[in-house]
A and B are shown apart, each in its own frame.
Chain A
Amino acid sequence: MICLHGVAKRYPCGHEALSNINLTLDAGSMAFLTGRSGAGKSTLLKLIALIERPTRGQILVNGMRLSDVGREHIPALRRSMGIIFQDPHLLADRTVFDNVALPLTILGYRRAEVARRVRAALDKVGLLRKERQYPPTLSSGEQQRVGIARAVVHKPPILLADEPTGNLDPQLSAEIMDLFLQFNRVGVTVLVVSHDVPLISRLNKPIIDLEHGQLRRMVLSDDLPSP
Chain B
Amino acid sequence: MTPPQTAKSAAKNLSPVALSRLQAYGVNHVRAFVFSLKRLYKSPLASLLNILVIGFALALPGMLFILLDNARAVTERWDHAASLSLFVAHSVSDHELKTLADTLVQRHDIVQAQALTRSETLAEFRALSGFTQALDALEENPLPGVIVLTPHVDHQGPTALQALAEELAVHEGIARVVVDMLWLERLHAIMQLAQWGVDILTVLLIITVWLVIGNSIRLEIHNRRKEITLSKLIGASDAFVRRPFLYGGLWLGSLGALMALGIIAGVLFLLHIPLSQLAALYAHSWHLQGPQWHDIAWLFSAGSLLGFSGAWITVAHYLHEIEPA
- A interface vs B, CB < 8 Å? 27-28, 49, 51-52, 72, 75-81, 83, 85, 89, 91, 102-110, 113, 117, 120-121, 123-124, 150, 152-157, 182-183, 185-189
Contacts and interface: CB of A to CB of B under 8 A. Distances in A.
B27 interface: yes
Interface string B24-51: 1101100100000000000000000000
Nearest to A108: B24
B281 interface: no
Contact of B233 (A76, A80, A89, A154): A89
Interface residues of B, number: 38
B288 to A, nearest CB: 49
Interface in B4-29: 4-11, 13-17, 19, 23-25, 27-28
B126 interface: no
A155 B10 contact: yes
Which of A51, A85, A187, A188 has the most chain B CB atoms inside 10 A of its CB?
Answer: A187
B103 interface: no
A75 B19 contact: no
Given A78-B233, A157-B14, 4 more contacts: A51-B325, A78-B232, A154-B13, A186-B6
15 contacts: A75-B240, A79-B14, A80-B11, A89-B226, A91-B230, A105-B28, A106-B240, A108-B23, A108-B24, A155-B3, A155-B10, A156-B14, A157-B14, A186-B10, A188-B4
A155 B4 contact: yes
A51 B235 CA distance: 11
Nearest to A92: B226
B230 to A, nearest CB: 5
Contacts of A150: 234
Interface string B198-221: 000000000000000000000000
Contacts of B102: none
B237 A75 contact: yes
Nearest to A158: B7
A108 B25 contact: yes
A75 B235 contact: yes
Contact of A27 (B5, B7, B24): B7
A107 B233 contact: no
Interface string B216-252: 0000000000110111111111101000000000000
B285 interface: no
Closest 3 CB pairs of A and B: A108-B24, A120-B1, A79-B235
Interface string B286-300: 000000000000000
Interface of B: 1-11, 13-17, 19, 23-25, 27-28, 31, 226-227, 229-238, 240, 324-325
Contacts of B227: 91
Nearest to B4: A155
B4 A187 contact: yes
Contact of A89 (B11, B28, B230, B238): B230
Contacts of A103: 234-235
A37 B95 CA distance: 120
Contact of A52 (B15, B24, B226, B325): B325
B6 A107 contact: no
Contacts of A51: 233, 324-325
B226 to A, nearest CB: 7
Residue from the set B9, B11, B234 with the largest chain A CB neighbour count within 10 Å:
B234
A83 B233 contact: yes
A76 B240 CA distance: 12
Contacts of A155: 1, 3-4, 10, 13-14
A181 to B, nearest CB: 10
A75 B14 CA distance: 13
B19 A157 contact: no
B223 to A, nearest CB: 10
Contacts of B13: 154-155
A155 B3 CA distance: 7
Contacts of B15: 107
Given A108-B24, A110-B27, A186-B10, A83 B234 contact: yes
Given A89-B230, A91-B226, A106-B236, A187 B10 contact: yes
